[in-house]
Amino acid sequence: MSTRKNAPSPAAQQERLLALWQTMTLVRQAELALVRLFADSEVPGFIHLSVGQEGISTGVASALKPQDTLATNHRGHGHVLARGMDLDGFFKEIMGRAGGLCQGRGGSMHVADLSLGILGANGIVGAGIPIALGSAIAHAVRRTQGVAVAFFGDGAMAEGVLHETLNMAALWKCPLLLVCENNGWSEFSPTSRQFAAQLEALSGAFGIAYQKVDGNNVLAVSDASRRAAEAARSGSGPQVLECITQRVRGHYEGDPQKYRDAAEMGLAAEADPVQRARAALLELGCTEAQLQAAGAEIDARVEAAVAAARADALPAFEPALADVYTPEHSR
């Protein structure tokens, strides 16, 4: 009876899910815009997309507070956009423009914004995990009441740095939330061929609390993330959240995915978290017209950000070494 009394009203449920769906839709539309830009050679380098995994980035971000920090990975567009990264600065950065959040120097794999606690990514599998651990230690020392989040794929579970981080975080009871986006693939191979253990058992070996959740159910991810973040924040030590999802696009954009079975790829598309949330919103009373209007507004935001990036200047060559080397005269 008490559970029913405390249950949110249908209106509150609709409001919460609508906000989550809008964030997921923003991530989806931004990445689909990047697909077109990449095909037209307007994006330098490679891009790795999180299409089909938006429920995880959105659900986790919904549980974070302003003082919290996160370390992302090569498939990190969703993480940073869900955290609230400026859309104009995001596109300018990925398109290599001077007005990008990192002045066009970082691009897709290194976009960061310290004002939002976004510590960035790098090209080394699992390398964001110890970065987040360092941030968690800083939260503890400074008593910020903050939590550090590390996003990593199941391809990183075999990396020794994860095991070392689990050990240190457990020993020091660090406010660290480790989020595994388990999409079943380690680059071009099934994860089962790369990692013999189970993340739940590995977490248990270090005495770390573990939750498994349907990563394509954004409400389930949000609820689990809130529980984990609050436990870490309250001094209960590190938490592990394994989100089961599917990878829709290839390892990198342009990957033909000949190593994947067509039926398996079809199942991945059917589990679409954006469409699942949309269907749930219609059941809660939202109308098609409302959702179409909200989607059109998001599309317009993305188009405006792309236009702003195209109009922005390319970085000048002269300051290319800035923030890289220390000038002799300042030593």
pLDDT tens-digit map of 93-151 = 999 999 999 988 888 888 899 999 999 888 888 889 999 999 999 999 999 999 999 99
Give the residue, 153 or 175, on which the prediction is more confident.
175
| pLDDT, position 2 | 43
Query: Given pLDDT bands bounded at 50, 70 and 90, which one contains residue 3?
Result: very low
Confidence of residue 307 (pLDDT cuts 50, 70, 90): very high
CB atoms within 10 A of CB 273: 26
Flag whether 143 is in a domain: yes
Distance, CA of 200 to CA of 22 (rounded, Å): 32
Residues β-bridged to residue 179: 151, 241
Task: Examine residue 225 and state whether it is found in any structural domain, yes or no.
Answer: yes
Give the span between the Cα atoms of 114 and 118, in whole angstroms.
Answer: 5
Write the burial class of residue 326 (CB in 10 Å: 0-12 exposed, 13-18 middle, 19+ buried). exposed
Pairing of strands 239-244, 176-182: parallel
- Domain for residue 329, yes or no? no
> Looking at the domain assignment, is residue 324 inside a domain?
no
- What's this model's pTM, rounded to 2 decimal places? 0.90
What SS3 class is residue 185? strand
316 domain-assigned: no
Structure tokens at 196: 């013999």
313 assigned to some structural domain: no
User: Residue 185 maps to which CATH number?
Assistant: 3.40.50.970
| Banded pLDDT at 255 (limits 50, 70, 90) | low
Could you tell me the residue range of the domain that residue 108 belongs to?
A: 8-308
Number of domains in the chain: 1
Confidence band for 240, pLDDT divided at 50, 70 and 90:
very high
CB 49 within 8 A of CB 34: yes
In a domain, 321, yes or no: no
The residue type found at 133 is L
Q: How many residues does the chain have?
A: 331
Quick: pLDDT tens for 215-226.
999 999 999 999
The vertex-245 CA angle with 261 and 122, nearest 5°, equals 100
Contacts of 311 (CB under 8 A, 6+ apart): none
* Assigned domain for 330 exists: no
Q: What is the pLDDT of residue 258?
A: 74
Kindly write down the DSSP assignment for every residue of 125-145, as one continuous string. Answer: TTTHHHHHHHHHHHHHHHT--
Radius of gyration of the chain (CA): 20
- Locate all alpha helices (DSSP H) within 234-272, ordered by sequence: 262-270
207: Cα separation from own chain's centroid: 26
